Amino acid sequence: MAIFRGLFCTDTHYSGKRPDCRTDEDFMTTQKNKTQEIFKIAKDNKCNIILHGGDFFDSPDISDNVAGEFGAMYLTAGIPVYVIAGNHDLRGNNYPTINQTKLGLIARLGAVKLIDKQHPIVFRMKDGKRIKITASPSDFGIDTCADEFISKKKSDDDFLIHVAHGMLLKKSPQHKTTYVPLSDIQDKTDADITFVGHYHLGFETTEANGKYFVNPGAVIRRYAFFEEMERVPEVSVFSIDTETGEISVKNVPLSCAAEGSEAISRERLEKEIEYSQKIEDFKNSIIKDTATISDNIENIINEAAEASFLEDDVRKEINARIADAKAVIDSQIFMEE
């Protein structure tokens, strides 16, 4: 019996700065606890590898402290970790910048291994079967390029896994963003399992003609949307029986993850919504009030008075002064002639 096992997780966005909506007293500890649990799930499930779908760090310039802390954790994970770069890991979402980033740095120091288009990895099982893992890291234009989510088997590839960081989604009118619909690639790819990161909410694992399409969602919730608050962060555990060809994929929730309502506060988001509503109301009030006002100064005064901005005697005084000013202006024009 020869079974290849792995764990897929994505979008950890490791950072020293707690996202505005989160309530953690110590965000570094939250991130470390999640990472330790991921390593434990991988060990408990006898995984041969951990695959990371990108946005490992929140920025290509993440602090040396954060890069050091998580680099050291992954170095001692006890299981080889393969990572593809996400848009947050790169400069300008440009893959050739990888060696100038903190993810590139910790990879060169051996904490993780990078997979990219030029460097797929191949595992040879005891029964002689080959399992290949290909990758499409984030790069400019990936969210509209179906080919980035398609991988083709070569004649000696018995099993193929493809990992990508980009907007692959099930077709839905609710998505207002640019994306590649799953239906555009599912019959074209040869990959037995396609893992994607980038869309933090993830989607339900889909099986089509024996091929699996998987996005368990971001490991760490960073936004105060209701969908994000209601979601339990998950990772995917998968296995390929190279003898029978049987493939299994299941999502495992992280037990250390706090309830959404505990980990995330909507207070700031609600304040922002309230604030932008006030600005909107103010804008509308200007448009509404000015719509009926003419460009004649006396009319503006009279209309403002009617809208009870002005006391009647104030209105009379203003009109009297405008009449005086006009008389002066008129006499000046007359004198110049």
* Least distance in angstroms from the C-beta of 58 to Mn ion: 8
Secondary-structure breakdown of the chain: helix, strand, coil percentages, each rounded to the nearest 5: 35, 20, 40
Token pair belonging to 227: 């969908």
CB 59 within 8 A of CB 15: yes
Beta-carbon count within 10 A of 120 CB:
17
Token pair belonging to 106: 């910790």
Round the CA-based radius of gyration of the chain to a whole number and report it.
Answer: 30
* Least distance in angstroms from the C-beta of 89 to Mn ion: 9
Nearest CB to Mn ion, comparing residues 11 and 148: 11
Single-letter amino acid, residue 36: Q
Task: Give Cβ neighbours of residue 77 (< 8 Å, ≥ 6 apart).
Answer: 39, 42, 50
* Contact region with Mn ion (CB under 5 A), list: 25-33, 50-58, 76-84, 329-337: 50-58
* Least distance in angstroms from the C-beta of 200 to Mn ion: 6
* Contact region with Mn ion (CB under 5 A), list: 6-14, 128-136, 175-183, 320-328: 6-14
Token pair belonging to 94: 């440009």
Nearest CB to Mn ion, comparing residues 123 and 223: 223
* Least distance in angstroms from the C-beta of 10 to Mn ion: 8
Nearest CB to Mn ion, comparing residues 37 and 89: 89
Does residue 143 bind Mn ion (CB under 5 A)?
Answer: no
First CA to last CA distance, the chain: 108
Beta-carbon count within 10 A of 272 CB:
12
Cα 215 from Cα 251, distance rounded (Å) = 9
* Contact region with Mn ion (CB under 5 A), list: 20-28, 54-62, 185-193, 315-323: 54-62
In the window 177-236, what residues touch Mn ion (CB under 5 A)?
none
Three-state DSSP at 236 gives: strand
Does residue 89 bind Mn ion (CB under 5 A)?
Answer: no
Nearest CB to Mn ion, comparing residues 12 and 186: 12
Nearest CB to Mn ion, comparing residues 15 and 186: 15
Q: Which residue is nearest to Mn ion (CB)?
A: 55
* CA nearest to 243, candidates 321, 126, 76: 126
Does residue 11 bind Mn ion (CB under 5 A)?
Answer: yes
Does residue 55 bind Mn ion (CB under 5 A)?
Answer: yes
Does residue 37 bind Mn ion (CB under 5 A)?
Answer: no
Nearest CB to Mn ion, comparing residues 55 and 157: 55
* Least distance in angstroms from the C-beta of 198 to Mn ion: 6
Three-state DSSP at 185 gives: helix
Q: Which residue ranges make up the site for Mn ion (CB under 5 A)? A: 11, 55
